[in-house]
Amino acid sequence: MPDMDEIKEGKTYYTDIPQKTEGFFLKGSNSLDWGMKNRLARIFNPKSGRTVMLAIDHGYFQGPTTGLERVDINILPLAPYADTLMLTRGILRSVVPPSFTQPIVLRVSGGTSILKELSNEEIAVGIEESIRLNVCAMAVQVFIGGEYEKESIINMTKMVDLGNRYGIPTLAVTAVGKDMARDARYFRLATRICAELGAHYVKSYYIDDGFETVTASCPVPIVMAGGKKIPELDALTMAYNAIQQGAAGVDMGRNIFQAEQPVAMIQAVRAVVHDNETPEKAYELYNTIKNQS
C-alpha cells in the first residue's frame, strides 16, 4: 500500500475534453459486453474489420482428410498467417503449442461421422473446456432444413446462453445437406435464423447470385466458408466477391490447406480480405511466394 504522505493530488483533468465514447467496429455487436467484444476484436482485425480464419476442424466428422493427415507438419507452418485457427480441442491440445497466442475458435458440436446422419449432432464440449482453453469463440453446426434441424438450433442457443454468461461468442456454422438448394433464399433463411436466435457471427457458403442479400439481411457479421477445393484463382475470386458483397472475412479450409502451396495461398487470401486486393493481383502474389519457396 502506498505511503499516504507520498500521494499527490491529481491536477490533469482535461476538463475541456469530453471522454470519448467509441462505437464497436463490428456489425450488430455494439451492445455486447466488454469481454465478448474483446474476444471478437481478437478474431476480427479492428483495422480492416475482417478476419482470415483457417478451418482445420474437418476431422471431427471425417477423420484425416487430405491435407490434414499431419496437422503438425502441414498446418502449423500456416498458423502464423491465420487471424484465427478453427479446430477441435483434440488437435488443439495434442498439436498446437500453448505458446501460440492467436485466437482459437473451438468446434463444440459433434457426435456424428460421415458414416451416419450428419445433422444428428449434440454439444460435445462443455463450456468449462472453452474457458479452460482460453478460446475466443465456440463453433456450432446448424442444419437448417436438415433432419435434426431443431436439435442443431437448440445446440446453438444453449451455447449462446452459456457463452453470454462467460463472454465467449458463438459462431453458427450453416451446414448444407446433400439435397438442399444452395441459393440466396436458403442462405438468407439459415443465416437470419442463426442471428435471430443469438449467434454472434455466422458462417455461410458463397453463392454467385444474391450473396449481397444474405449479408445485408443478416444483422451480425458473416464469414464465408471455403467449400470443396477449386483452382486457386477461382478460390481467390470467390473470397474477393464475398468480401466485396459484405462478408466480414473468410473461414476457409480445403482451399487453403489443399492448395499446391498452402503458405502462399493463405497470404494471397489475406491480401484479398484485409487489403481489398483483386483476385488477379492476389494470384500474382500467390505465384511469387510459391516460386520463392
Contact positions toward ligand R5P, by CB under 6 A? 55, 57-58, 86, 141, 173, 225-227, 251-255
Nearer residue to ligand R5P within complex by CB, 86 or 106: 86
Nearer residue to ligand R5P within complex by CB, 195 or 256: 256
> Active site includes 203?
yes
Nearer residue to ligand R5P within complex by CB, 32 or 160: 160
**Nearest-approach distance from CB 164 to ligand R5P, in angstroms:** 22
**Nearest-approach distance from CB 114 to ligand R5P, in angstroms:** 11
Residue 3: phi, psi to the nearest 5?
A: -65, 125
**Nearest-approach distance from CB 192 to ligand R5P, in angstroms:** 20
Q: For residue 34, how many C-alpha atoms fall within 13 Å in the half-sphere facing its CB?
A: 0
Evaluate the CA torsion angle 99, 224, 262, 51 in order and state its sign. Answer: negative
**Nearest-approach distance from CB 80 to ligand R5P, in angstroms:** 19
Separation of alpha carbons 189 and 17, rounded Å: 46
**Nearest-approach distance from CB 55 to ligand R5P, in angstroms:** 3
Separation of alpha carbons 195 and 28, rounded Å: 10
Separation of alpha carbons 185 and 170, rounded Å: 23
Longest dimension (CA), the chain: 76
Angle at 271 between CA 174 and CA 269, to 5 degrees: 40
> What residues have CB less than 8 Å from 142, skipping those under 6 apart?
152, 153, 155, 156, 172, 173, 174, 175, 190, 193, 194, 199
Among the options 11, 47, 158, 203, which is catalytic? 203
Nearer residue to ligand R5P within complex by CB, 32 or 92: 92
In our burial notation (b when 16+ CB lie closer than 10 A, e otherwise), range 195-208 reads: beebbbbbbbbbbe
Separation of alpha carbons 10 and 170, rounded Å: 43
**Nearest-approach distance from CB 19 to ligand R5P, in angstroms:** 41
Separation of alpha carbons 140 and 121, rounded Å: 9
DSSP 30-61: TTS-HHHHHHHHHHSBTTTTBEEEEE--THHH
Nearer residue to ligand R5P within complex by CB, 32 or 257: 257
Which residue's C-beta sits nearest to ligand R5P?
226
Nearer residue to ligand R5P within complex by CB, 57 or 232: 57
Please give the positions annotated as active site: 203
